[in-house]
Amino acid sequence: MSLNSLHDVYIDQLQDIYSACKQSGGVTRKLADAATDTSLKDALERGVEGIERGMDTLGDIIKGHDADPDGEHCKGMEGLVNEARAHGLEQDFGDSAAQDAMIITQYQRMAHYAIAGYGCCLAFARRMDHTEDASKLEECLNKSYDGDRAMTDLATGNINRDAA
């Protein structure tokens, strides 16, 4: 697809973040299964639910512009998911708190990618006066920030202390 306008870039990036969510949801579920701290496990499960809601929202927005949500494969998130598997799940850990600290690290990297994607799409939607899209994207962006902050709170609370 040739990107000839901001609208084309917008659809491309909506599809990219949709693909990113699709990929990150599966590994986040596995990270939740591997987490030993119950608060972390709960936060990751809420993260999976949030990712799924984001996908639903993105899918609706993309279809509303007569495009296919699956029109793009996000190679950036593919790399982050591979890193999350390698470092958060497949790595040999002698201590469960150390693994929990690594799980947070990997989740936050994926969350920051989502934050960047939602933020860019929100800016595009506002520029093109897609008010309803912008409102939905802003909610997704805020939820992504909330998830990131929750992980920071867990890390700076007990988890990093226990891992040290």
Domain boundaries, the chain: 6-163
pLDDT digits (tens, 9 = 90+) for 15-42: 999 999 999 999 999 999 999 999 999 9
Task: Tell me whether residue 106 is exposed, middle or buried, using C-beta atoms within 10 angstroms of its C-beta: 0 to 12, 13 to 18, 19 or more.
Answer: buried
Query: What's the whole-number mean pLDDT along residues 82-92?
Result: 96
**Per residue in 7-27, is it b (16+ CB within 10 Å) or e — as a string?**
eeebbebbbbbbbbbbbbbeb
- CATH topology for 6-163 is Ferritin (1.20.1260)
Q: Is the dihedral of CA 156, 159, 163, 164 positive or negative?
A: positive
Nearest-angstrom CA–CA distance, 97 and 77: 25
pLDDT given at position 2 = 87
Residue 103: CA count within 13 A, CB half-sphere: 32
Closest-CA residue to 76 (of 12, 138, 33, 135): 12
State the pTM of this model.
0.94
